[in-house]
Structure 1
Amino acid sequence: MKRVQLQRWSSTVLSPRARTSTLHQRLYATRLRHQSTASAVQAESAPQNGFEDSPLEDPGLKAHLESVHNRKTQLKYPSPPVQAASTSAKLAALHARLYLPSRLPLETLARTLVDASADSNADFNNESLATLGQDLLTYYTSEHLLCTYPRLPLTVVFAAMYAYVGPKTLASVAREWGVEHASAPGGEVDPGLLQFQRLEPGADVEDTANIKSARPYASEQKWRKTVTSKIFYDDAFGEATKGSTSASQGVPAEQASATFVRAVLGAIYLHAGRQAAKRFYEQHILSRRLNISELFNFSQPARDLARLCARESFEKPVAKIISETGRKSRHPVFVVGIFSGPDKLGEGAGASLIEARERAALSALKAWYLYSPLNVRVPSSMEEEGAAPWTPAYVDLGEVIV
């Protein structure tokens, strides 16, 4: 009796293989029912995409296949597609962190992060925006320097321009904004990362073989007699313009970061207007402190001061001792003043009379060149609504040419 019951019970228990076969049969029957239902629905309505024509796929599988298809499509692009900008958390955070105008879309901000070395298509890289942004940066900076310090020497103007909007400064600004670099450009990269083709290890930053001189007439004497070639053939910082290297060779991270900052300003100008672009420039560029007095470097300040006084029809400068202490001690201190008639031009202290005189002459030259008029106005202020009538800015004769 026990044996019969045991045999009957064992016959009802299926082996693993039998259970798997039964499960497959049930799944197959369910799939057939889905197939018949989907065929009826398909006959009534046409498919909307390439994945709805298969009736055997459920919505979850369909979404997975769509994501795989989109990823394969993105791999074909050198930079992220435009529609990927709306789903990037990094890009939205950057837009909010910089307090960018709401009229600047995320798609344009994503374009500013694509360097020309990553995507050679001008419709998707930031080259055109960076060109506009560079012109705005140099325009706003140069008018600020020339109107605030109208007597600055040309070399100091170039040095100040480089300090404000040079590539090192703009790369530092990009780091302060929290912009991260992508390891390599591609369509699958997050649009919120800066994308550029990196230089190969050991590659030169500047390819001298591809550099083309930007001074075709600099060697001719007729050009040297009329105007300096710096005004016509150099860049905004007084350096000779050099031809850019091939984009396939890559660019340094500093150059890509600087190009991105320029492109952001150009994008703001196009989407939000001139006032928004200038306000952004003042908040992020002009607000940086720069001690212009440290940019001067006079080799012979006493001689330069004498030439300056002769040009301005001042009396010849004379050095006079104002005070001294410890002349015969180990550490003497002399205070010397430079006078032009009854007017004191400068004052300096040193361990010797010669050193004190040189420092006094240097102080007099800085006091002259760092002159700044009251109520400084720049030409771009006339673009604002309700601006007062323009008053011509003070223009000095320029530096003393030795």
Structure 2
Amino acid sequence: MKRLQLQRWSSSVLAPRARTVNRLHQHIYGQRYQSTVSPVQARDDQTAAIFEDSTTQDEQLAQIVKDSHTRRSHLQYPSPPVEAAQQSAKLAALHARLYLPSRLPVQTLARALVDQTADPNPNFNNASLATLGHDLLSYYATEHLICTYPRLPLTVIFAAMYAYAGPKTLAAMAREWGVEMATLPGGEVDPGLLQFRRVEPGSEVETGSSRSARPYEHNKLWRKTVTSKVFYDDEFGDPLKGPGMSAGGVTTEQASAEFVRAVMGAIYLHAGRAAAKRFFEQHFLSRHLNISELFNFRAPARDLTRLCARESFERPVAKVISETGRHSRHPVFVVGIFSGQDKLGEGAGASLIEARERAAVAALKGWYLYSPLNVRVPSSMEEPSALPWKPVHVDLGEVIV
């Protein structure tokens, strides 16, 4: 009796599952698969309606077949299709995390995540957006530094530019934003992942030493001066890279930097200048940078003497202000640099020479780090309620030795 009940239960439960598998084979392989299982005798009308009405099951099977074809079609693309951006949770989370303008669509943000090494088509990679973003970052960072510190030496400006908008800083920002990277680029990956083709192990990576040919560089008398950096190098003072030097891929740092630049360019195109400048102030100028640590003087006393001669000041003189423990193991001397009655700088050291050098460095930093009270940049004139423009004071810069 128990065996008879078990057979009835197995036939009533397993038969619908077998019928579903048969229909799946028929839809996928296009074969008329005839079931050998006897029809189920339903006990009531409700159960019979569930098993006999196969319209819902056919729709589900058709959807499964459609999804499988869609996944296979995505494999032929080097990057995710445009319509996949609206279904990516990672992309929506990144858009909200960065507090991007609502006018910036997620499709453009997805394009900013595709490097040109992953998809060579310029209509689907971030090359054009990164070029625009690179120019905007250089412009905003340069005007901020020159207008805020008009006396900075050019070498210090190059170092500050690299600290604000250099590739290492941009790569660190991409990590802070929570951007994840795809192992291999392709059409089937999530559009919210950074996609690029990694450089092969052992291949040469482009660095600052990979430069383009400069005029007269073959001459032995050629010297890399500050003027040559202005005319022939990039905004960071590094030599420009020549064409055709790519190793077939990029590093993680380079791909992350291109993504951040592309986001800046996308904001400018979709939301306008005000939104792009606000994004720069919130994500770049908000990072603390101690400008005074970027100086590196080789002969500060000589540079201070030349600076005073250029500005028609009296010749600087070092005077001992105070001292303690001259005949002990740890003496301390405090020396001040005076130009007439004005004290230019002060420094302390274990010897008179060390204290004089530190006082000269303090005097030079006090001159170069001058900043006006009301700082205005040229881009502020783009605002509708901008006041009339007043010329910004820009000093001659460092002393050319």
Q: Deviations over 1:199-254 (max 9, x none)?
A: 22222222899x56142345579998999221222111001001366667210000
Residue 287 (str. 1) matches residue 275 (str. 2):
no
**Contact 1:158 1:238 survives alignment (8 Å):** yes
> Where does 1:235-250 land on structure 2 (aligned, <5 Å)?
235-243=234-242, 249-250=248-249
Show the counterpart of 1:139.
Answer: 139
The alpha-carbon distance between structure 1 residues 213 and 109, as it changes in their structure 2 partners (threshold 3 A), is same
Match of 2:98 in 1: 98
Task: Kindly indicate whether the alpha-carbon contact (under 8 Å) linking 1:307 and 1:400 is maintained by their aligned counterparts in 2.
Answer: yes
Where 2:303 maps in the other structure, the secondary structure is helix
Counterparts of 1:269 and 1:146, CA distance in 2? 23
Residues 101-116 of structure 1: pairs in structure 2 closer than 5 A: 101-116=101-116
Structure 2 residue ranges without an equivalent (≥5): 19-33, 41-52
Whole-angstrom CA distance in 2 between matches of 1:353 and 1:223: 39
1:317 equivalent to 2:316? Answer yes
Q: Distance in 2 between matches of 1:344 and 1:361?
A: 11
Map Cα deviations across residues 155-175 of structure 1 (whole Å, 9 max, x no partner): 000000000000000000000
Q: Is the 8 A contact 1:117 1:248 kept in 2?
A: no
Q: Which residue does the alignment assign to 1:382?
A: 381
Which residue number in structure 1 is paired with residue 195 of structure 2?
Answer: 195
SS in 1 for 2:259: helix
SS of match in other structure, 2:358: helix
Structure 2 residue 390 is matched with structure 1 residue 391: yes
2:185 is matched with 185
Equivalent residues of 2:82, 2:107 under 8 A apart: yes
> What is the DSSP-based 3-state SS (H/G/I as helix, E as strand, rest coil) of the residue aligned with 1:315?
coil
Residues 391 and 221 from structure 1, CA distance in 2 versus in 1: closer, same or farther, beyond 3 angstroms? Answer: farther
Query: Residues 120 and 169 of structure 1: is their aligned pair in 2 closer, same or farther, counting only changes over 3 Å?
Result: same
Instruction: Give the counterpart letter for 1:335 in structure 2.
Output: V
Contact 1:88 1:191 in 2 (8 A): yes
8 Å contact kept, 2:122–2:128? yes
Q: In the alignment, which residue of structure 2 is the partner of 1:301? A: 300
Structure 2 equivalent of residue 65 of structure 1: 65
Contact 1:214 1:242 in 2 (8 A): no
Residue 148 to residue 130, structure 1, CA distance change in 2 (3 Å): same
> Superposed, which structure 2 residues align to 1:7-46 within 5 Å?
24=37, 26=39
* Preserved contact between residue 223 and residue 229 of structure 1 (Cα < 8 Å): no
2:159 matched to which residue of 1? 159
Q: Distance in 2 between matches of 1:129 and 1:22?
A: 58
Task: Quote the Cα distance in structure 1 between the aligned partners of 2:297 and 2:103.
Answer: 49
Structure 1 stretches lacking a partner, 5+ long: 1-5, 28-36, 39-54
Partner in structure 2 of residue 206 of structure 1: 206
Q: Return the alpha-carbon distance in structure 1 between the equivalents of residues 225 and 152 of structure 2.
A: 21
Q: How many residues align?
A: 365
Q: Which amino acid aligns with 2:101?
A: P
**Mapped partners of 2:226, 2:363: distance in 1:** 29
Amino acid at match of 1:277: A
> Distance in 2 between the 1:227 and 1:262 partners?
27
Per-residue Cα deviation, 1:305-344 (whole angstroms, up to 9, x for no partner): 0000000000000000000000011100000000000000
Amino acid at match of 2:103: R
> 2-side partners of 1:198 and 1:213: how far apart?
24
Are 1:196 and 1:251, in contact at CA under 8 Å, matched by a contact in 2? yes
Hey, what's the Cα distance between the residues in 1 that align with 2:191 and 2:224? 52
**How far did residue 22 of structure 1 move?**
7.6
Q: Is the 8 A contact 1:117 1:196 kept in 2?
A: yes
Q: Deviations over 1:95-114 (max 9, x none)?
A: 00000000000000000000
| Counterpart-to-counterpart distance in 1, 2:166 and 2:64 | 47
* 1:330-369 map, 5 Å: 330-369=329-368
- Matches of 2:364 and 2:400, distance apart in 1: 14
Provide TM-score, normalisation by structure 2: 0.85
One-letter amino acid of the counterpart of residue 228, structure 2: S
- 1:82-93 map, 5 Å: 82-93=82-93
Deviation at 1:399, TM superposition (A): 1.1
CA contact (8 A) 1:181 1:193 kept: yes
Q: 1:214–1:233: 8 Å Cα contact kept in structure 2? A: no
Question: 1:178/1:367 Cα in 2 relative to 1: closer, same or farther (>3 Å)?
Answer: same
Q: CA 1:348 to 1:222, structure 2 compared with 1: closer, same or farther past 3 Å?
A: closer
Opposite residue 261 of structure 2, the aligned amino acid is: R
- Give the letter aligned to residue 297 of structure 2: F
Matched-pair contact (CA < 8 Å) for 1:117–1:247: no
* TM-score of the aligned structures, taking structure 1 as reference length: 0.84
The CA distance in 2 between the partners of 1:110 and 1:225, in whole Å, is 41
AA in 2 matched with 1:133: G
When residues 375 and 223 of structure 1 are mapped into structure 2, their CA distance, relative to the original with a 3 A threshold, is: farther
Q: Which SS does the other structure have where 2:267 is aligned? A: helix
Report whether the alignment pairs 1:260 with 2:242: no
